[in-house]
Amino acid sequence: MSAATDDRNESVRLIRESAAGLAPRTGDFRRIRTLRFNDPGFDRAVWKQMCEMGWPGLRLSEESGGSALGMAEYCAIAEEMGAALAPEPLIQVAMAARVMQGDPLLSRILSGDMVVIPAWQERAATLDTGTDTTVAGGRANGKKLFIPMAAGADAFLVSGRDGLALVERDAPGVTLTIDRTQDGGNFGTLSLTDAPCTPIEGDIAAALEEAALATSAYLLGAMDRVFAMTVDYLKTRVQFGKPIGSFQALQHRAADLKIQVSLARASVESVATALDSGLTGPARLAAISRAKARASDSGMLVCRQAIQLHGGIGYTDEADPGLFLRKAMVLVNLYGSPALHRSRFATLAVDTDEG
C-alpha cells in the first residue's frame, strides 16, 4: 500500500470519527422523529455545528475557506449522515458552496449563517438544468421543482439557460410552495416572476455530479445501519424457543442483503477514489451513474427486506426500520433516478464490463 493511500485512509478515518458527535451510528432516532413533518425539517443549531466542523467546505480550496479534501472524505461524511438519518442539508449546501467559490457570500454559507439551496430541476426524470428559467438583466423568471429541504433556505442558487443567479427567499416576485416528503422532510416548488437576482459565476453541472455521488454514499450509510439493526434483531428475537436468526431461511436472506451492502460500498468507494485520481469526461459521468444506480437499487432492497425481517413490528411507524425505507424512497430519485443513471451509464461507459 502506497504512502498516498495510507494518508487517504487515515484522512477518511478521522473524518468518520469527527462525525460521531453529530451523526452517531449508535444513536437513537428521537431527534429525527421530532424534526420530521415540521419546518424547516432540520435543526439549525446542529447545522451550525456541522459548519463549524467544516463539512460544507470539505471539497473547497483552502483559499476559499475549505479543507481541500477529496470525494473519498466527502462520501465518508455523507455515509455517516446516512447511518444517522441526519436531515441537515449538507449535500445541498455543499453543492451551492462548490459553485459559489470566490463569491463574497461564501463565508456566510460555510459558517452556517446563510443556508443556500440549489434550485436546478424543472421536470422529473432529468439531469438538465435551467432549460426554461431565465436569470438575465438582474431578474429571474421561471419555475423550479423538487428542491430538497427548501423550507430551511434563506436563498436559492437558481440555474437558468443564461447562467446562474442567487435569489433571496423573501424577495418580491418569489413564491415558495412546500410539500412534505415520505421521510418527513420537504420539497419546494419555487415560482419566480421578475424576482430580483444576483448573477453567480460557477459550474453547477460538476457540482450536481458530486451531489449525486454523495447521495449514493448517504444511501450506503442508511442501508448499512438498517442492516446492522436487522442482524441484531435476528439475534435477539426468539421464536419457537430459539433466536430467529438461527433459522436457515432467514440466514440466507441476511446473507443476500450483506452482499447488496458490500456491492454498494465497493461501487461508491471505488468511484470516489477514481474521481480523486483525476477521472474526467464521459468516464467520470458513467462512473457516478454506476454508483448512484447501484446504491439506489441496493438501498431500496435492503430497507424493504429489513422491514420484512423485523416481522409485524417492522411495519409500524414506531419501528426504526421504517425511517430508513422512507428516507430511501426520497433519495433514490434525487439527482437522477436509477433508470436514468442506468441509461446514462449504458450510453457513456467505455468499458461496459464495469457495470
Q: 218: Cβ–Cβ under 8 A, 6 or more apart, which residues? A: 78, 79, 81, 82, 91, 331
Rg (CA), the chain: 20
What is the pLDDT averaged over residues 283-301? 98
Helical segments of the chain, H only: 3-19, 30-35, 44-52, 71-84, 90-99, 106-111, 204-236, 248-276, 281-309, 321-331, 338-348
Q: List pLDDT tens digits, range 31-75.
A: 999 999 999 999 999 999 999 999 999 999 999 999 999 999 999
For the chain, percent of residues with pLDDT exceeding 70: 97
Q: List pLDDT tens digits, range 159-212.
A: 999 999 999 999 999 999 999 999 999 999 999 999 999 999 999 999 999 999
Residue 122's pLDDT band (boundaries 50, 70, 90)? very high
Residue 246's pLDDT band (boundaries 50, 70, 90)? confident
Which among 25, 34, 42 has a CA at the least distance from the CA of 84? 25
Q: Which domains does the chain have, with CATH numbers?
A: 3-111 (1.10.540.10), 116-200 (2.40.110.10), 204-354 (1.20.140.10)
Cα 83 to Cα 235: distance, rounded to the nearest angstrom: 21
Statement: residue 353 has pLDDT above 50: no
Q: Between vectors from CA 269 to CA 299 and to CA 10, what angle results, nearest 5°?
A: 125
Return the bridge partners of 139, or none. Answer: 196
Statement: residue 296 has pLDDT above 90: yes
Statement: residue 273 has pLDDT above 90: yes
Residue 232's pLDDT band (boundaries 50, 70, 90)? very high
Statement: residue 28 has pLDDT above 80: yes
CA of 166: how far to CAs of 75, 158, 159, 198, 273, in Å?
A: 27, 6, 9, 5, 32
In this structure, what C-alpha cell is assigned to residue 50? 456541522
Residue 351's pLDDT band (boundaries 50, 70, 90)? low
Least confident of 95-99, 186-190, 222-226, 346-350: 346-350
